[in-house]
């Protein structure tokens, strides 16, 4: 049956070969990353933000997840709004929103909605783009290399080399970008700590005086030039008068409490006044609870 009439079978007809796994279209995958949110996979729409890892998101999606506290592993490095930056993008004047193909008209599906403000390269994944963390401007890597400057090419604000973050970095660059993110956060934390320590009063100044160095320095000089009586007044003003903590720390009250003082045994107090406290004999014999909810003597 078969193979008659001089038919010569081929090898693939006689031997079953293992099929090759399907490969993704790299161009389509790259274009998808530049047009869709990295966390929700929805199409990008303004306002668009980016994190310190170079991933692009819809700001609305990030705000929703921060409020819900979902704790998705993909955005675990985003602790709040300070860890994202709204991108300052340059629209492409030749871009037309995509739609269905009509007739024989040519539709360029590779066209990007945004371009580089310096070189006019389209932001479609074919070219490398970066953004400045301090201002959020998006510029192509070619413009940053060919036109080296210490200020942003778009807004003119100064920036440092470590503040340039690549958008949608490759897998090989993930470790390098993460290391830069950690070093940037450590530097910001150290700077914040240094500012806080600089605002603290120097040694020898009055402890009750706080605030800026200029105004508080005048107050410190005023207190130091005064007499010893004025210093005593300033110290007594800092005490918390009338609060339970201040009363308990008082030495006179400590002596009275250690001697076993009681209002019921005070000869100067009247019988009506003594009946107000739960140490009175009439209050101890009552079956119902006393109206005083706490002991005023702090025993």
- If you write DSSP's letter for every residue of 192-235 in order, what string do you get? HHHHHHHHSPPTTS-TT--S-HHHHHHHHHHHHHS-HHHHHHHH
My answer on whether 36 and 173 are in the same domain is: yes
Answer whether residue 123 is part of any domain: yes
My answer on whether 44 and 120 are in the same domain is: yes
My answer on whether 41 and 162 are in the same domain is: yes
Answer whether residue 134 is part of any domain: yes
pLDDT score of 57: 92
Answer whether residue 224 is part of any domain: no
pLDDT score of 111: 77
My answer on whether 255 and 134 are in the same domain is: no
pLDDT score of 252: 62
Q: Which of 194, 218, 249 is the last residue of a domain?
A: 194
* Residue ranges making up the domain that contains 115: 26-95+110-194
Query: How many domains are contained in the chain?
Result: 2
Q: Determine the Cα–Cα distance for residues 269 and 292; give it in Å rounded to an integer.
A: 18
pLDDT score of 207: 47
| Alpha-carbon torsion (116, 119, 124, 127), positive or negative | negative
Q: Which of 140, 175, 194 is the last residue of a domain?
A: 194
My answer on whether 133 and 43 are in the same domain is: yes
Answer whether residue 205 is part of any domain: no
Q: Determine the Cα–Cα distance for residues 259 and 156; give it in Å rounded to an integer.
A: 77
Q: Determine the Cα–Cα distance for residues 230 and 227; give it in Å rounded to an integer.
A: 6
pLDDT score of 49: 93
Answer whether residue 139 is part of any domain: yes
Q: Which residues pair with 43 in a beta bridge?
A: 36
Instruction: Identify the segments of the chain with pLDDT beneath 70.
Output: 1-5, 98-110, 201-261, 284-299
My answer on whether 63 and 176 are in the same domain is: yes
pLDDT score of 92: 86
Answer whether residue 10 is part of any domain: no
My answer on whether 87 and 147 are in the same domain is: yes
Q: Are 58 and 75 in contact (CB under 8 A)?
A: no
My answer on whether 187 and 253 are in the same domain is: no
Q: Which of 194, 209, 228 is the last residue of a domain?
A: 194
pLDDT score of 104: 61
My answer on whether 63 and 172 are in the same domain is: yes
Answer whether residue 104 is part of any domain: no
My answer on whether 57 and 177 are in the same domain is: yes
My answer on whether 80 and 148 are in the same domain is: yes
Cis status of the peptide bond prior to 41, with omega within 30 of 0: no
**Model confidence, pTM:** 0.55
CATH of the domain at 66: 3.30.40.10
Cis status of the peptide bond prior to 52, with omega within 30 of 0: no
Answer whether residue 78 is part of any domain: yes
My answer on whether 173 and 91 are in the same domain is: yes
């Amino acid at each position: 049956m078969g193979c008659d009439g001089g038919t010569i079978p081929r090898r693939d007809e006689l031997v079953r070969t293992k099929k090759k796994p399907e490969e993704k279209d790299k161009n389509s995958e790259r274009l998808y990353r530049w047009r869709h949110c990295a966390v929700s996979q929805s199409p990008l729409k303004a306002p668009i933000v980016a994190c310190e890892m170079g991933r692009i998101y819809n700001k609305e999606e990030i705000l929703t997840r921060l409020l819900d506290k979902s704790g998705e592993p993909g955005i675990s490095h985003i602790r709040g709004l300070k860890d994202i930056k709204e991108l300052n993008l340059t629209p492409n004047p030749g871009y037309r929103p995509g739609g269905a193909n009509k007739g024989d008209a040519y539709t360029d599906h590779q066209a990007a909605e945004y371009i580089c403000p310096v070189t006019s390269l389209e932001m479609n994944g074919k070219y490398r783009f970066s953004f400045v963390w301090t201002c959020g401007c998006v510029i192509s890597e070619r413009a940053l290399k060919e036109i080296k400057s210490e200020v942003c090419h778009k807004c003119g604000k100064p920036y440092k080399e470590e503040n340039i973050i690549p958008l949608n970095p490759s897998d090989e660059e993930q470790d390098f970008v993460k290391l830069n993110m950690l070093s940037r956060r450590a530097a910001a934390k150290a700077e914040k700590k240094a500012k806080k320590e600089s605002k603290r009063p120097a040694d020898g100044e009055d402890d009750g005086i706080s605030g800026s160095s200029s105004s508080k320095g005048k107050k410190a000089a005023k207190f130091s030039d005064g007499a010893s009586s004025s210093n005593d007044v300033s110290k007594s003003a800092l005490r918390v008068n009338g609060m339970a903590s201040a009363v308990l720390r008082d030495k006179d009250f400590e002596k009275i409490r250690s001697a076993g003082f009681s209002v019921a045994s005070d000869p100067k107090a009247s019988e009506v006044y003594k009946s107000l406290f739960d140490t009175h004999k009439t209050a101890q014999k009552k079956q119902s609870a006393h109206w005083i909810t706490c002991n005023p003597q702090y025993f």
